[in-house]
A and B are shown apart, each in its own frame.
Chain A
Amino acid sequence: MTEVEETLKRIQSHKGVIGTMVVNAEGIPIRTTLDNSTTVQYAGLLHQLTIKAKSTIRDIDPQNDLTFLRIRSKKHEIMVAPDKEYLLIVIQNPCE
């Protein structure tokens, strides 16, 4: 297995992680560990939010760029790491 596959596997098996997914530049999920409907919902909504967040950061300073986005909610935490072409989304429950 490639290193990236191993890393993703480790993340999925980490304590408290509910699901991981990889979304491409158009908002279409490529890889997921959750069911289809949830994945599609998360992918679509978070893709738009990431674009907005990225646009905000870069508008303030074009030399800056978004590294990651963390949304802490009552139930769990959604972490989004954007890349040039892909988006990596992980949902974790930090305190079990």
Chain B
Amino acid sequence: MAPKPPHKQSVSMGRGARKRDDDSGTEVGEGTDEWTQSKATVRPPDQLDLTDAELKEEFTRILTANNPHAPQNIVRYSFKDRECQMEPPPRTNFSATANQWEIYDAYVEELKKQEKTKEKEKTKTPVAKKTGKMAMRKLTSMESQSDDITKVSQAAKIVERMVNQNTYDDVAQDFKYYEDAADEYRDQEGTLLPLWKFQNDKAKRLAVTALCWNPKYNDLFAVGHGSYDFMKQSRGMLLLYSLKNPSFPEYIFSSESGIMCLDIHVDHPYLVAVGHYDGNVAIYNLKKPQAQPSFRSSPKSGKHTDPVWQVKWQKDDMDHNLNFFSVSSDGRIVSWTLVKSELVHTDVIKLKVEGSTTDVPEGLQLHTVGCGTAFDFHKEIDYMFLVGTEEGKIYKCSKSYSSQFLDTYDAHNMAVDAVTWNPYHTKVFMSCSSDWTVKIWDHTIKTPMFIYDLNSAVGDVAWAPYSSTVFAAVTTDGKVHVFDLAINKYEAICNQPVVARKKTKITHVEFNPIYPIIIVGDDRGHITCLKLSPNLRKMPKEKKGQEVQKGPAVEIAKLDKLLNLVREVKIKT
């Protein structure tokens, strides 16, 4: 553009000069020429030289009613008062109460902010900060938009429990405070007071196959659902109920195969080990909201080929890995270890039926595999455990010897349904079977100390946690039998039908570790909670003048006394 204007100027000057030479007289001619000339752009010499791009740049200016050239802050000096008056600054109204807890909350927030800034300083990258801020902005805008009724979840849970407490108010009061006064007049018998009933529509057709109280939260218990019927096998469910909400379970898990057994870890009460009918074992983690188990065995990882009848958590091994044992009808007792989020199996023992080796020519020996149905680990001697089998034998085994048993007991004529060590006395254990009997043993003696015939197949048996001489047994005719050996060595002190309909078989029973209640599961999928009356919870009476002794030593001594009586009788006969 630069060379052009002077050229034009020279042209115009040239023209102007020509005109003057031609028509010096006529003003009109000059005027029109000057007017046509005015099209040429006149550029002042001090104008900015800008490039095309810069010239095309647009600057937006907002027009306001304010005068942009007027001063913003005016200070007026009044000559009369000789004072300065300024325009007042912008103000808003704010009101709050300064309570002690508001001050406390403010301090807590400050602390949190300080901790956050400390964390941010540790992980500092400017790019990450920017993206973080963008993400934060997006999040906050989303939250304010959605109604977000999921925030009420905690309050809803509390209200549901309150509503249930109101409906079952009398039951809750009974649970806490009712002690049957008629027990005084009942000689030595006791009763079971029915409290809550737990049932869920989804588990209606499934039998209760396993019960376990949570070791940490005493009102929470786990129920495994499946089917004992060989012909009718369908899915399984794991439900966890709380006594505080009898109408709906706290956790629900579904599985393809029926659950046959479960166990909750003592140190990690959110881990539930489960054994299935198809031979698989799984671990559910209650802390994670997934519906699928956290870890599962598979045919590759050595699952059982027959239903898993019992699982039990063990102490962590030397590498601090979680591990549990499982027993199954395929004759294997397997130890499962959780190594780096995978289940690794180790065969501990293969059950062999002793005396079954048939002499086949060429010296071949056939070993028939025994089917394990129940096991229990000794409380103090870590490596020792008992296994009950379908043939009715109980083997005392050690974790270190995989081929030989420490001892064998010819316990029952039919399959052993449950085996449990006494919680106090280290030598005593109990077994029950479908041959209608419950037997109490001393593991050093091959014959049982006590035998009880209950007129119906015994589904499960459990020792009471508060006394070494009290235990409960449940039978398929719907009755619960409670025994206290210190009161009556030969009969049950409580013999009560518990289920509503006839032909309902009770499958499992468990004592609560703290409260005087038991839960009983039946084959219709219902769980009934019963309170033990005072006669069933008798503690040894203090003689006058003597101190009341409490503690495990007393319990052991009590049982020892009884056993000695029985042993004396045996020696005599």
Q: Which residues of A contact B (CB under 8 A)?
A: 2-5, 7-8, 10-11, 14-17, 20, 22, 30-31, 55, 58-59, 62-63, 67-68, 70, 77, 79, 81-88, 90, 92, 94
Closest to A15 in B: B167
Tell me whether A85 and B151 are in contact (CB under 8 A): yes
What distance in Å separates the Cβ of B242 from its nearest Cβ neighbour in chain A? 14
Q: Are B152 and A86 in contact, CB atoms less than 8 angstroms apart? A: yes
Nearest-CB residue, chain B, relative to A24: B147
- Asked if residues A62 and B159 are in contact (CB atoms below 8 Å), the reply is no
Contact A2–B163 (Cβ < 8 Å): no
Docked-complex contact A17 and B150, CB < 8 angstroms = no
Band of interface residues on B: 20 to 34
B367 close to A (CB within 8 Å): no
Which B residues fall within an 8 A CB radius of A? 99-101, 103-105, 147, 149-160, 162-164, 166-167, 169, 247-248
Give the contacting residue for A70; candidates B147, B162, B164; CB below 8 A: B162
- Asked if B149 contacts A31 (CB within 8 A), the reply is yes
Q: Which 4 A-B pairs have the closest CB atoms?
A: A58-B101, A62-B104, A81-B155, A62-B101
Choose one: A81, A84, A86; the contact of B158 (CB below 8 Å): A81
Task: Give the CA-CA distance A32 to B275 in the complex, in Å.
Answer: 44
**Nearest residue in A to B156 (C-beta to C-beta)?**
A7
Contacts of B153 in A (CB 8 A): 3-4, 7
| A77, B166: Cα distance in complex, Å | 9
Contact A83 B166 (CB under 8 A): no
Rounded to whole angstroms, the CA-CA distance of A67 and B154 in the bound complex is: 10
The answer to whether A10 and B248 touch across the interface, beta carbons within 8 angstroms, is yes
- Picked from A7, A16, A62, A84, the residue with its CB within 8 Å of the CB of B100 is A62
In the bound complex, do residue A4 and residue B163 qualify as a contact, i.e. CB atoms below 8 Å apart? no
CA distance A90 to B248 in the complex (A): 18
Instruction: Name the contact of B156 in the complex, choosing from A84, A88, A94 (C-beta under 8 A).
Output: A88
B101 & A14 in contact (Cβ 8 Å cutoff): no
What residues on A are CB-neighbors of B149 within 8 Å? 2, 4-5, 22, 30-31, 86
B159 touches A90 (CB 8 A): yes
Q: Which residue in chain A gives the minimum CB-CB distance to B99?
A: A59
Show 22 residue pairs from A and B whose CB-CB distance is below 8 angstroms, ordered by the A residue: A2-B149, A3-B150, A4-B153, A8-B152, A10-B160, A11-B163, A14-B164, A17-B163, A20-B159, A22-B149, A55-B99, A59-B100, A62-B101, A62-B103, A62-B104, A62-B105, A79-B159, A81-B155, A86-B151, A86-B152, A88-B156, A90-B162
- Shortest CB-to-CB span from A24 to chain B, Å, is 9
Identify the closest chain A residue to B169 (Cβ): A94
Contact for A67 among B100, B101, B158, B160, CB less than 8 A? B158
In contact, B159 and A11 (Cβ under 8 angstroms):
yes
Instruction: Let me know if B162 and A7 touch, CB within 8 A.
Output: no
Establish whether residues A68 and B163, one from each chain, have CB atoms under 8 Å apart when the complex forms.
Answer: no
Is A55 a contact partner of B151 (Cβ separation < 8 A)? no
Q: How far is the CB of B545 from chain A (nearest CB, A)?
A: 46
CA distance A35 to B152 in the complex (A): 21
Partner of A83, one of B99, B103, B104, B154: B154
Residue in B100, B105, B155 whose beta carbon sits within 8 Å of that of A86 in the complex: B155
**Nearest-Cβ distance from residue A64 to partner chain B, whole angstroms:** 9
| In the complex, residue of chain B having the shortest beta-carbon distance to the beta carbon of A17 | B163
With a cutoff of 8 Å between Cβ atoms, the chain A residues found around residue B152 in the complex are: 4, 8, 22, 83, 86, 88
Q: Do A81 and B101 have beta carbons less than 8 Å apart? A: no
The answer to whether B166 and A7 touch across the interface, beta carbons within 8 angstroms, is no
Contacts of A92 in B (CB 8 A): 163, 166
**Bound complex: CA A74 to CA B158 (Å):** 23
Task: Select from chain A the residue with minimum beta-carbon distance to B101.
Answer: A58
In angstroms, how far is the closest chain B Cβ from the Cβ of A67?
7
Residue of B nearest to A67 (CB): B158
Given A10-B247, A10-B248, A83-B151, also A4-B156 (CB < 8 A)? yes
Q: A4-B156, A79-B159, A81-B155 are in contact. Are A14 and B247 (CB under 8 A)?
A: yes
Q: Which chain A residue lies CB-closest to B157? A: A7
CA gap between A3 and B248 in the complex, in Å: 12
Q: B199 to chain A: closest CB distance in Å?
A: 15
Bound complex: CA of A87 vs CA of B159, how far in Å? 11
**Chain B contacts for A14, CB-based, 8 A:** 160, 163-164, 167, 247
Distance to closest chain A CB from B70 (angstroms): 42
Which residues of chain A come closer than 8 Å to B147, judged between CB atoms? 30
Contact A90 B163 (CB under 8 A): yes
Nearest-CB distance from A18 to chain B (Å)?
11
Distance in angstroms from A66 CB to nearest chain B CB is 11
Q: How many angstroms from the CA of A3 to the CA of B152 in the assembled complex? A: 11
Are B156 and A8 in contact, CB atoms less than 8 angstroms apart?
yes
- Using Cβ atoms and an 8 Å threshold, which residues of chain A touch B103? 62
Give the Cβ gap from B240 to chain A, nearest Cβ, in Å.
Answer: 15
**Contacts A2-B150, A31-B149, A58-B100 given; 19 further ones with Cβ under 8 A?**
A2-B149, A4-B153, A4-B156, A10-B247, A11-B159, A14-B160, A16-B163, A16-B166, A22-B149, A22-B152, A62-B105, A68-B159, A79-B163, A81-B159, A86-B155, A88-B156, A90-B162, A90-B163, A94-B166
Chain A residues near B164: list those with CB within 8 A. Answer: 14
* A79/B101 contact (C-beta < 8 A), A3-B153, A7-B153 known: no
Contacts of B248 in A (CB 8 A): 10
A60-B485 Cα distance, complex, nearest whole Å: 53
* Minimum CB distance partner of A8 in chain B: B156
Most buried by B among A4, A10, A82: A4
Let me know if B162 and A79 touch, CB within 8 A. yes
Question: Distance in Å from the Cβ of B248 to the closest Cβ of chain A?
Answer: 6
Known: A68-B158, A68-B159, A81-B159. A16 touches B151 (CB 8 A): no
Looking across the interface, which residue of chain B has its beta carbon closest to that of A14? B163
Contacts of A10 in B (CB 8 A): 160, 247-248
Nearest B residue to A68, CB-CB: B158
B residues within 8 A CB of A2? Answer: 149-150
